[in-house]
Amino acid sequence: MQAEKFLTFLIGPAHSGKSYEAGALARPDLDTLVIGTANTHHPLMQNRVQALKAARPANWQHVDRPADVPSLVFAATSVHDQIIVDSLNLWLAALTVNHPAGLTAMELLEVLTAECDRMIDALGRARAAGANVIVVGAEVGASPSPPVETERAFREANGRLNRAVAGMADRVILMTAGIPTVLRDGRVSGAETVNAIQQNQNRRLNP
């Protein structure tokens, strides 16, 4: 079956159920690559990633913390019909932490913005190439402004990236306390989307 050319963006706070919803909304019949960006050196994150993998179809392939996520997103379209990126914020956080020494906050923001532009281009190319693309991102702008300049640069870059991905996505879903709210869906009617999400919730509540 040929993959649909849809881009879905799941956004919400930490531990709101975004990753599980991404797996539930994905098509299990497609050749799928999951690109994970979490730092799995921490035991808690290792356990979380393992639990997510166990909940996904056994035939899905996973790549954890690739060196160049945007390049892999685009390259994967020649091999896989469905791509899940989980998540944009952890990818951007890793870039922030590992930025070259000596950069000012403005210079760091410029570096992050350039990488975000590469990611936006890669997601657009993957969608245009015929892949079903599901992207997870976190909303980090609701809290007070962080006191550290590098953290403020990260927050600004993350907000810009979220706006750009939401603007190009066919479907945008906000996750809050495990409950999905459809912000926009240009693929089907709102009633159809709500029905599909309710079916996914029922499957999770009644395994």
Residues of the chain with pLDDT under 50: 1, 3, 189-190, 205-207
Question: Would you state the torsion angle of the CA atoms of residues 42, 48, 49, 55, taken in this order, to the nearest 10 degrees?
Answer: 170
Position 197 in a domain: yes
| 1 in a structural domain | no
Asked if 23 contacts 52 with a C-beta cutoff of 8 angstroms, the reply is yes
pLDDT at position 196: 60
Q: For residue 143, give every residue at least 6 positions away whose Cβ sits within 8 Å of its Cβ, in sequence order, or none.
A: none
The bridge status of strand 61-64 relative to strand 32-36 is parallel
Q: Which residues contact 152 (CB under 8 A, 6 or more apart)?
A: 105, 145, 146
Q: What is the DSSP string of 140-170?
A: --SSPPPSSHHHHHHHHHHHHHHHHHHHH-S
The predicted structure's pLDDT at residue 189: 47
Residue 119 in domain:
yes
Per-residue model confidence (pLDDT) at position 46:
86
What CATH number does the domain containing 120 carry? 3.40.50.300
Q: Give the pLDDT of residue 1.
A: 42
Whole domain around residue 72: which residue ranges? 7-202
- 135 domain-assigned: yes
Q: Is 112 exposed, middle or buried (0-12, 13-18, 19+ CB in 10 A)?
A: buried
- The reply to whether 162 falls in a domain is yes
Residue 115 lies in a domain: yes
Measure the CA–CA gap between 72 and 110, rounded to whole angstroms. 22
Residue 92 belongs to some domain of the structure = yes
Q: Quote the number of domains for the chain.
A: 1
CA distances, 191 to each of 81, 111, 182, 188, 196 (Å): 27, 41, 10, 8, 9
Residue 2 belongs to a domain: no
The residue type at 96: T
